[in-house]
Amino acid sequence: MKTAILRMLRNANDEYISGQKLSELLNVSRTTVCNEINTLREYGYKIDAVSRRGYMLKSTPDIVTDFAVGSLIKSKTFGKTIVYKDEISSTNILAKELAEKGYEHGTVVIADTQSSGRGRRGRNFESPKGVGIFMTLILKPDFSPYCAPMLTLLAALAVSDAIEEIVDVPANIKWPNDIVIGDKKICGILTEMSIQADYINNIVVGIGINVNNESFPDEIKDVAGSIFTQTDRKINRDVIIERVLFYFEKYYNAFLETNDLSNVQDVYNKKLINLDKEVKVLDPKEPYEGISRGITNTGELIVEINNKIRHVASGEVSVR
Ligand code: BTN
């Protein structure tokens, strides 16, 4: 109910919408409408009420609940079901449990904070309360498990587009999936897959975005930043989440046409911070250096070393 009322208030575009109209459209009593409006106010929504005119939304708090995000959703599949928790160990862990329990393809799990946010290579992901986005998408695709790593690149594209649209600054991609504003990483993505033989049970794509953080712990402050530290702007996180889901759906549909990245390769390469730059590939066997020439249509990084081409499938790359 809160989702529907909030959606109508948001869509009223600075006009009053009457309690009568809300109650008719939602098929509930005026008292129910009034109670729901009061609950929204308790969450921090400023809603003006004027007799004989109705309600008008004046301002929105920075919260990422199911109704805050749900009332903005424009995508068809991703975000149709939203599971929200104030605090959780990791949205990836809950998403995996929910996927096993039968939650549908496109479900998104969102938390306001994570007590053990997980990064790639077993690292920890700083997940402070009230300033970041911690979200995980559940996918149940019928393509080959070999396609799974490409989803991470699609998610990177979606985050980059969302930020660029909202904040209007370049949000570049450091291959394969870190988002960088200026010289600081502001987003990380962790994709995990559950397979049986060569069949995908489910894939979870976890996205962590530093949005309104004002500072970072000493251990990461040289590399990590937030949208706020990099642009001096505070943004409501629900708006970013909605855009990420919208663009993820767009890129996912483009991907499904070919089951590879052919349709998005050029866009990705334009955003690639490493393009035509010297990179150091931190291969666990033996690190090597070369010039990055973009990605292949399966998402590998093309690295030119002494006029020879190598395709890097995984591993870390640092811009020199
Ligand atoms: C990385 O850069 O190492 C990847 C970080 C991924 C963090 C996100 S936050 C939401 C989801 N839940 C997790 O525990 N991790 C991912």
- pTM for this prediction: 0.96
* pLDDT tens-place string over residues 181-191: 999 999 999 99
At how many degrees (to 10) do helices 30-42 and 19-26 cross? 100
What is the predicted pLDDT for the residue at 15? 92
What is the predicted pLDDT for the residue at 198? 83
| Best residue among 87, 118, 205, 248 to mutate for probing ligand 1, ranked by most atoms within 8 Å of CB | 118
What is the predicted pLDDT for the residue at 284? 76
What is the mean predicted confidence (pLDDT) over 42-54?
96
Which neighbouring-strand residues pair with 206?
A: 136, 190
What is the predicted pLDDT for the residue at 189? 97
189 CA to centre of ligand 1 in angstroms: 5
User: Bigger pLDDT: 14 or 2?
Assistant: 2
Whether 132 has a binding-site annotation, put simply, is no
pLDDT for 135 beyond 70: yes
- Domains of the chain and any CATH numbers: 2-59 (1.10.10.10), 66-270 (3.30.930.10), 274-319 (2.30.30.100)
206 CA to centre of ligand 1 in angstroms: 5
* pLDDT tens-place string over residues 65-122: 999 999 999 999 999 999 999 999 999 999 999 999 999 999 999 999 999 999 998 8
111 CA to centre of ligand 1 in angstroms: 12
List all residues 6 or more positions away from 97 whose beta carbon is below 8 Å from its beta carbon.
none
Could you give the CA distance from residue 92 to residue 38 in angstroms, rounded to a whole number?
33
Could you give the CA distance from residue 266 to residue 278 in angstroms, rounded to a whole number?
20
What is the predicted pLDDT for the residue at 197? 83
The residue nearest atom 16 of ligand 1, judged by CA position, is 206
Could you count the other beta carbons within 10 Å of the beta carbon of residue 262? Answer: 14
- Vertex 310 angle, CA 304 and 315, to 5°: 105
pLDDT for 215 beyond 90: yes
What is the mean predicted confidence (pLDDT) over 41-47?
98
Burial code (b: 16+ CB inside 10 Å, e: under 16) for 72-95 equals: bbebebbbebbbbbeebebbbbbb
- Burial (Cβ within 10 Å: 0-12, 13-18, ≥19) of residue 42: exposed
Q: What is the mean pLDDT of the chain?
A: 95
What is the predicted pLDDT for the residue at 266? 97
What is the predicted pLDDT for the residue at 27? 95
* pLDDT tens-place string over residues 264-310: 999 999 999 989 999 988 877 788 899 999 999 999 999 999 889 99
* pLDDT tens-place string over residues 226-262: 999 999 999 999 999 999 999 999 999 999 999 999 9
What is the predicted pLDDT for the residue at 14? 85
Could you count the other beta carbons within 10 Å of the beta carbon of residue 195? Answer: 13
Q: Please choose, from the candidates 320, 318, 266, the residue with its C-alpha nearest in 3D space to the C-alpha of residue 295.
A: 266
Q: The complex's ipTM?
A: 0.99
Query: What Rg value do the Cα atoms of the chain yield, rounded?
Result: 21
55 CA to centre of ligand 1 in angstroms: 39
pLDDT band at 319 (very low <50, low <70, confident <90, very high): low
In contact, 120 and 208? CB cutoff 8 Å: no
| Phi-psi group of 222: left, alpha or beta (phi > 0 → left; psi -120 to 50 → alpha; rest → beta) | alpha
What is the predicted pLDDT for the residue at 288? 85
Could you give the CA distance from residue 49 to residue 121 in angstroms, rounded to a whole number?
52
List all residues 6 or more positions away from 118 whose beta carbon is below 8 Å from its beta carbon.
90, 92, 93, 124, 125, 190, 206
What is the predicted pLDDT for the residue at 202? 97
List all residues 6 or more positions away from 250 whose beta carbon is below 8 Å from its beta carbon.
158
92 CA to centre of ligand 1 in angstroms: 8
- Measured from CB, residues less than 6 Å from any atom of ligand 1 are 90-92, 114, 117-120, 123, 125, 134-136, 188-190, 206-208
Whether 221 has a binding-site annotation, put simply, is no
What is the predicted pLDDT for the residue at 121? 84
The residue nearest atom 2 of ligand 1, judged by CA position, is 188
The first and second tokens of residue 193, run together, are 């897959």
pLDDT for 317 beyond 80: no
Give me the half-sphere count of Cα atoms (radius 13 Å) on the Cβ side of residue 24: 5
pLDDT for 320 beyond 60: no
